[in-house]
Amino acid sequence: MKCVEDESCVPPGFPSYLTGPKIWDTAAYTENPDLYVCNLNEEDNMYIEEALRHFKDLNLARGFISRETFPLPETLSNKLKAISNSVYQGRGFEVLRGLKPEKYDEEENLLVFAGVTSHVAPKRSHTIGHIYDATKDKSLKGTLAPPAMPIAMAFHCDLDGGDIVAMYAQELAAEGGEHVLCSFWQVYNDMVAANSSALRVLAEPFPFELIDKSTDKPYHISRPIMTVSQSRVLVHFVKTLLTGSLYVPRSNSAPPLTEAQSFAVQDLITALNSRPLPLTQVRGDVVFINNMAVLHARNAFVDRENATRHILRLYLADPELSWEDSTVDTSSAKKVCSDMHIGPMSQRYETKSEIRAKGFFSPQCHHD
């Protein structure tokens, strides 16, 4: 739907147009993926192996892994730090390519992921997520949400997860499972150009429903899908948390969306789906995504013997570059296992096997 003629649909305080590298030339990235890839060479991998050995020799708990305890040469550390600049101030995403997960065991892959990302951004979530097809783990406990199924996932943010979503491809599926991105800044400009009435609605509070993982009960927060801070437009969108789904039904106590809100959500989904950017994928890739300006989706996948998709996920933040966002619900962040204020001894960086041994298929932190 459009606003009436001669009336702007841009909400008060929002920019009339966004500019900069987050306005993508999708065709250029599709034709030349090297534009968004940061490659590691053999020497870089040698230094990473040395840092891994150094950390293991310290005999510290895994939560103590950091730039200091996983030391890398200044040139390589700066190369990784530049990824943070690209994610916050540049295009909003980057792919680090060249890690060799086949060289490491399960724990070492976890440590390499945490160690390398500590040079990208110093703050991280207190748990590490394991994303894989858990539908065959029928003996294990947990709410089987879409991230733990081999189905496609629509565009979404990881609500209050952190500034940066980092996902490490320890193993790839036999078919599919590619990440697909969409720049919300480009979509915002598209909706402004179309004079879409949805823009004003998206800037008003919506009733999100989340699950408190400590009690397994729903709770509700009221917040806009779209906010503005320092001339930056931030997005907070997970359709499932607004409408429910076949796999994650909305509770009877959830406030319903208004008709205008339902139309606005559908307009946003249509706009997002018109701007997909599928990423190339190689085993060992680490994808870094600005969780405030870029939405991510996933293609369905098929596993086979010796080709079973396994993604490790951390949430990161760089205090020097972080964007102000007054709508972040810190209690929500704690409930979804992305608290960045927990000390090293209390951080839970468990391997997939360790979690399964406790009777679960993954940390119960899904909020997608």
Whether residue 319 is predicted with pLDDT greater than 90 in this model: the reply is yes
DSSP string, 89-118: HSSSEEEEE---GGGS-HHHHHHHHHHHHH
Angle between helices 74-89 and 42-58 (to 10 degrees): 100
pLDDT above 90 covers a percentage of the chain that reads 76
Distance (Å, rounded) from C-alpha 306 to C-alpha 299? Answer: 20
The number of beta carbons lying within 10 Å of the beta carbon of residue 159 is: 22
Distance (Å, rounded) from C-alpha 130 to C-alpha 234? Answer: 27
Please give the average per-residue pLDDT across 38-44, as a whole number.
98
Residues pairing with 130 in the sheet: 312
Read off the tokens for 311.
Answer: 């993604």
The 10s digit of each residue's pLDDT in 335-347 is 455 677 777 877 8
Q: Which residue has the higher pLDDT, 275 or 211?
A: 275
Please give the mean pLDDT across all residues of the chain.
91
The number of beta carbons lying within 10 Å of the beta carbon of residue 95 is: 23
Read off the tokens for 100.
Answer: 């060799």
Tokens 């008709």 appear where?
259
Residues pairing with 33 in the sheet: none
Whether residue 4 is predicted with pLDDT greater than 60 in this model: the reply is no
The number of beta carbons lying within 10 Å of the beta carbon of residue 240 is: 21
Angle between helices 259-273 and 184-193 (to 10 degrees): 110
Integer CA distances (angstroms), 296 to 48, 128, 178, 278, in order: 28, 18, 10, 10
Distance (Å, rounded) from C-alpha 81 to C-alpha 213? Answer: 33
The 10s digit of each residue's pLDDT in 209-227 is 988 777 778 899 999 999 9
Read off the tokens for 350.
Answer: 């468990």
Q: Which of 291, 289, 186 is nearest to 236 (CA)?
A: 291
Read off the tokens for 354.
Answer: 């360790």
Read off the tokens for 353.
Answer: 């096997």
Read off the tokens for 299.
Answer: 């293609």
Q: What confidence category does residue 277 fall into, taking pLDDT thresholds of 50, 70 and 90?
A: very high
The number of beta carbons lying within 10 Å of the beta carbon of residue 123 is: 16
CA atoms within 13 A on the CB side of 259: 1
Q: What confidence category does residue 357 fall into, taking pLDDT thresholds of 50, 70 and 90?
A: confident
Q: What confidence category does residue 364 fall into, taking pLDDT thresholds of 50, 70 and 90?
A: very low
Q: What is the Cα 137 distance to its own chain's centre? A: 24
3-state secondary structure of 92: coil
Angle between helices 106-118 and 42-58 (to 10 degrees): 110
Distance (Å, rounded) from C-alpha 324 to C-alpha 233? Answer: 11
Distance (Å, rounded) from C-alpha 75 to C-alpha 340? Answer: 27
Whether residue 27 is predicted with pLDDT greater than 80 in this model: the reply is yes
- Please give the pLDDT value at position 337: 56
- Please give the pLDDT value at position 363: 54
The 10s digit of each residue's pLDDT in 58-89 is 999 999 999 999 999 999 999 999 999 999 99
- Please give the pLDDT value at position 214: 73
Whether residue 329 is predicted with pLDDT greater than 70 in this model: the reply is no
The 10s digit of each residue's pLDDT in 141-199 is 766 788 889 999 999 999 888 999 999 999 999 999 999 999 999 999 999 999 899 99
Q: What is the Cα 78 distance to its own chain's centre? A: 23
Distance (Å, rounded) from C-alpha 202 to C-alpha 129? Answer: 30
3-state secondary structure of 17: coil
- Please give the pLDDT value at position 61: 95
